[in-house]
Amino acid sequence: MYALADANNFYASCESVFRPDLRGKPICVVSNNDGCVIARSAEAKRLGIKMAAPYFKHERFFRDNGVYVFSSNYELYGDLSARMMAILGEMAGGQEIYSIDESFLDVTGIGSYMPLEAFGQSMRERIRRETGLTIGVGFGPTKTLAKLANHAAKKWTKTNGVVDLSESRRQRKLLQLTDVGDVWGIGWRINQRLKTLGIMTALQLADSDIRMLRKNFDVIIERTARELRGESCLALEDAPGPKQQIVNSRSFGERVTRLEDMQQAVASYAARAAEKLRAQGSRCRHVTVSIATGRYGTEPQYSHSAPVTSEYPTADTRDITGMALRGLASIWRDGYRYAKAGVILSDFWQSDTAQFDLFSEQLPRANADALMAALDGINRSGKGKVWFAGQGTGESIWQMKRNMLSPRYTTRFADIPVVK
């Protein structure tokens, strides 16, 4: 038996955890550089605000309708997510963190001791009490059915946030009410193809002939149909494999015209990518740096990328930053107003199996692993930050614009709420 627990309107909900005055009010969170709407509270949805709505086009509407708008506060969202996932992990025999606000849980056997709906309510209460967030919980004998149950738990208020699909009768009833396009893993194109075959509901997909599905679609649709029937085909991934590529790319808060500013941005992106690389125990040999002007408007346009290869697999920030800056030097052109830059790491090796060239003139730096471990340890401790001078020492024009940023209540001492 699986459970899927996820937070309702996660980013918007995080903004109201330390602001009880915002509960019941319309809240929107906007993307990097205060661009487009990426999260909405239920109240904002009822006002008709759409996802990806440009903030600058709707600023007056937000003001006139009392909508509270926040820049993306990734530090706050990430910390509250980690707390929520830790609590959920304590309450189940296994856990797969599917996204920042979703977690699959192995709850096999719990139904023998208490009703699953009661267990789901206890999960909701503990998350509410310890984090201030509200979650929906769905139970099912497969991950796809658990996902469907969770969707129903959030859609219909009479469920009180919990739906149990452990019984076949309840499964088929919900499948009949569910459009096939709302099934986990069914994209827009597949949805259209299914409907041309007369498969309109999730129940019709579950009852479809497997041979027909195999003939007309790939194995993923066959597997989805089997999961809807209650046949578990997707195991819980307790420890997902390491990524095969790491991308760190951002749009700038203001246009960049000087090489020195671009070098700071690229060095910062490379350092962050290297940190992610070490976190998954990998090294890389290829670094690609890219720069681009804005795609619209009357200004001259230019974009280019440059790959750089190391003679040995490395996770040393100094190596990766140096490679990125060499790539930047080869593609930089004066006279343009740059809007974006990015760094991509690829050709990964696991740290314990990396192959070095005995005869190479370019060898790893002495004590590099120990230095990087100390660097990461300090930066994760919350007691201070260490970075390289090439990243800059203060606010820069390339840093993304977050003019409506809320306090980082749980990760920054200066932002901790004070009760007087």
Whole-angstrom Cα distance, residue 267 to residue 390? 6
CATH superfamily entry for domain 246-391: DNA polymerase, Y-family, little finger domain (3.30.1490.100)
Residue 412 is predicted with a pLDDT of 84
| Cα–Cα distance for residue pair 228/151, rounded to 1 Å | 14
CA 223 to CA 125: how far, in whole Å?
34
CA 93 to each of CA 89, 161, 276: distance values in angstroms, whole numbers, following the listed order: 8, 22, 28
Is the pLDDT at 356 greater than 70? The verdict is: no
How many Cβ atoms sit within 10 Å of the Cβ of residue 51? 11
Contacts 24+ apart (CB under 8 A), 148-152: 148/174, 148/175, 148/178, 148/182, 148/183, 148/184, 148/202, 148/228, 149/4, 149/174, 150/4, 150/5, 150/6, 151/178, 151/182, 152/178
Q: Please write the tens of the pLDDT for every residue from 49-63.
A: 999 999 999 999 999
Q: Are 338 and 294 in contact (CB under 8 A)?
A: no
Q: Is the pLDDT assigned to residue 262 strictly greater than 70?
A: yes
Residue 224: what pLDDT? 93
Give the tens place of pLDDT for each residue, 188-220.
999 999 999 999 999 999 999 999 998 888 888
Confidence bin at 355 (pLDDT 50/70/90): low
- β-partners of residue 340 are 251, 292
Query: Is the domain covering 77-228 a CATH 3.30.70.270 domain?
Result: yes
CA 381 to chain centre: 23
**Domains in the chain: boundaries:** 6-72, 77-228, 246-391
For the cut 80, the answer to whether the pLDDT of residue 335 exceeds it is yes
Q: Which amino acid is at 211?
A: R
Helices 368-381 and 259-279: crossing angle in degrees, nearest 10, is 90
Q: What is the DSSP letter of 285?
A: E
The pLDDT, as a whole number, for residue 32 is 86
**Contacts of the segment 11-16: beta carbons below 8 A, 24+ positions apart:** 11/38, 11/39, 11/72, 11/77, 12/39, 12/40, 12/41, 12/44, 13/41, 13/133, 13/134, 14/73, 14/76, 14/77, 14/80, 14/133, 15/68, 15/70, 15/73, 15/76, 15/406, 16/41, 16/132
- Give me the CATH topology for the region 6-72: MutS, DNA mismatch repair protein, domain I (3.40.1170)
- Share the mean pLDDT of the chain: 91
